[in-house]
Amino acid sequence: MEKRSHIIYTDSGEEILFEYAIADKDSNSFLITKIRKDGESIPDILINRPKDNDQPTFRTMEEGRETEISDENMPIMKFCRLVLAEELEQNS
């Protein structure tokens, strides 16, 4: 798996470095794995784009339960959207 990285800027201008890899990729979903946020490990994120819905879902497993990431202002959501856009661009 190829390691990738992105810098995300918060609303206050703070830089956050995300390092990650892509796994389990198919036409409707992929897994962002081996995620490190400023050097700290965070749980994998599943991005799913159902054919019958134009809105993707972003889900993570935290403390043994699935959680949807939905706050558009959080740096993790900005990171997810950037990775999704990059993957869509590569597939077009």
Residue 28 backbone phi and psi in degrees, to 5: -115, -10
CA angle 20, 22, 27 (to 5 degrees): 150
Whole-structure pTM over 0.85, yes or no?
yes
What pLDDT tens digit does each residue of the chain (92 aa) get? 789 999 999 999 999 999 999 999 888 899 999 999 999 999 999 999 887 777 899 999 877 888 999 998 899 999 999 999 999 888 76
**Overall domain count for the chain:** 1
Looking at the chain, how many residues does it have?
92
Domain containing 56 equals 4-91
Partners of 33 in the beta sheet?
21
Torsion angle, CA of 74/21/86/8, rounded to 10 degrees?
30
